Amino acid sequence: MNLLEGVRIALASLRGHKLRTFLTLLGNIVGTMSVIAVVSLIYGADRYVSEVVLDEGTDVFTITRVDGLQFLTDFDAFLESLTNPELTLDDRTYLLERMTEARTVGARISRSAEVRAGGRSYRGVNVRGVTEDYPLLEDVPLAAGRQLTPVDVAASRQSVVLGWDVARDLFPRHADPVGREVKIGGRHFTVVGLIEDRGTVLGENRNEVALIPVTAWQKLYGTGESLDLRVAAADLARLEQAKDEATFLMRVRHRVRPLERNDFAIRTSDQLLDIWGGISGAIYGALVPLVGISLVVGGIVLMNVMLVSVTERTREVGVRKALGARRVSIMWQFLVEAITLSLVGGVIGILIGLVLAWAISLVSPLPFAVAGWSLVLGLGTTFLIGAVFGTWPAWKAAGFDPVEALRHE
């Protein structure tokens, strides 16, 4: 009953002193809102990165001419790697024939281009040249038709598997575009497959893609660009052995001497996760002190307002003590009021934070996802703020002398 009475009095105070209540809760609202908004966006980005890794496969690693991630981690090494030789289909064949720790070795290359069909066109399509084993290296579910085959690649057939948005934009009146023709780079390609709708994540529309045989891609755009070689380990538990074997074979293939650096780079999903983990960890690390300052300021304001409330209700406290109220009961009442006020600010901050994160995700590429632990953290922190900064006002009220309190005007 004391708890409910304290909550009731606190809510009555909220209604009776609206401006004072707003100023009291402002620190908690801003602090909690910041936590929820930032955590929701970072948590959404975490989920996106995890989805990318899952799509590419945890047992897949990529051999590239240049490791773009080194631009962030080791700029000097990145500049040095710009002189590396290009990777070719012959490199892919060499690895495919000799690797014992690989399930398959594929090649991939891409560029942005326009795809046309009749009088309609779609710009900015990721036209990707692939080998026939790309379904083993990434998740490409089909809604209709078939995947590219070894015959397509060997014969440089002008076959294409279209992404969902590209197909729907070019053939709006046809549910199944398989068998129809599109034009890429001035050449006609026959649609043999339609990829399922995979949505947009972190600003990247995964439906704006067109997959063609890598040999047909090279006929379109030339063989002067380096390929990415993608290797799927035969056994996830032996991923490191597969990487070592690929490294050894590539050094032999490129005639790299024992003490010379690799003239290629190997990129794994763990590298992406590690780099993102460092970025998100730095954001969380910067968030803690910034939000902590806001919450402490909010707690100080709460304590000052509670001290004013205690002074205003000195006579009330005197009457309650004269009627037999114990010291702990008085203290408990004011402490519950402080915690209730703080929690109300926390709840408002959580709601505003969620709306803010959702709004940001609508107008930016940042994804939005609710982290349950952040809601608990927000409420727990505001509860703690109310308990800590409400203790001194409650202690002061409980220490009033009833006779002196009754004389208070």
DSSP for 257-275, please give it.
-TTSPPSSEEEEHHHHHHH
Q: How far apart are CA 336 and CA 383, in angstroms?
A: 10
Q: How far apart are CA 107 and CA 103, in angstroms?
A: 14
Q: How far apart are CA 385 and CA 301, in angstroms?
A: 11
Rounded to two decimals, what is the model's pTM? 0.63
Q: What is the pLDDT of residue 272?
A: 64
How many Cβ atoms are within 10 Å of 346's Cβ, its own excluded? 29
CB of 156 closer than 8 Å to CB of 219: yes
CB of 342 closer than 8 Å to CB of 32: no
Parse the chain into domains and list their residue ranges: 2-51+274-407, 85-263
Q: Which residues contact 401 (CB under 8 A, 6 or more apart)?
A: none
Q: What is the pLDDT of residue 339?
A: 82
Per-residue pLDDT of the chain (409 residues), as tens digits, is 456 766 676 667 666 666 777 777 777 787 788 778 877 777 777 766 666 655 555 678 899 998 766 666 666 767 777 888 999 999 999 999 999 999 999 999 999 999 999 889 999 999 999 999 999 888 899 999 999 999 999 999 999 999 999 999 999 887 789 999 999 988 999 999 999 998 766 557 889 999 999 999 999 999 889 999 999 988 878 888 999 999 999 999 999 998 888 889 888 776 666 666 676 777 777 776 777 777 777 778 778 777 777 776 667 767 766 777 677 777 777 787 778 878 888 888 888 888 888 887 777 666 667 777 778 877 888 888 888 888 887 777 777 666 565 555 5
Cα–Cα distances (Å) from 379 to 95, 296, 343, 390, in that order, read 55, 15, 7, 16
CB of 389 closer than 8 Å to CB of 303: yes
Q: How far apart are CA 212 and CA 131, in angstroms?
A: 9
Q: How far apart are CA 10 and CA 335, in angstroms?
A: 10
Q: What is 174-192 written as a DSSP string?
A: -S--TT-EEEETTEEEEEE
Q: What is the pLDDT of residue 23?
A: 72
- CA 265 from centre of chain: 26
C-alpha torsion 208→214→217→223, nearest 10: 130
- CA 189 from centre of chain: 36
Q: What is the pLDDT of residue 68?
A: 67
Cα–Cα distances (Å) from 154 to 104, 158, 180, 326, in that order, read 17, 11, 22, 91
User: How many residues can be counted in the chain?
Assistant: 409
N-to-C CA span, the chain: 29
Extract the tokens encoding 145. 């038709």
Q: Which residues contact 259 (CB under 8 A, 6 or more apart)?
A: none
CB of 388 closer than 8 Å to CB of 299: yes
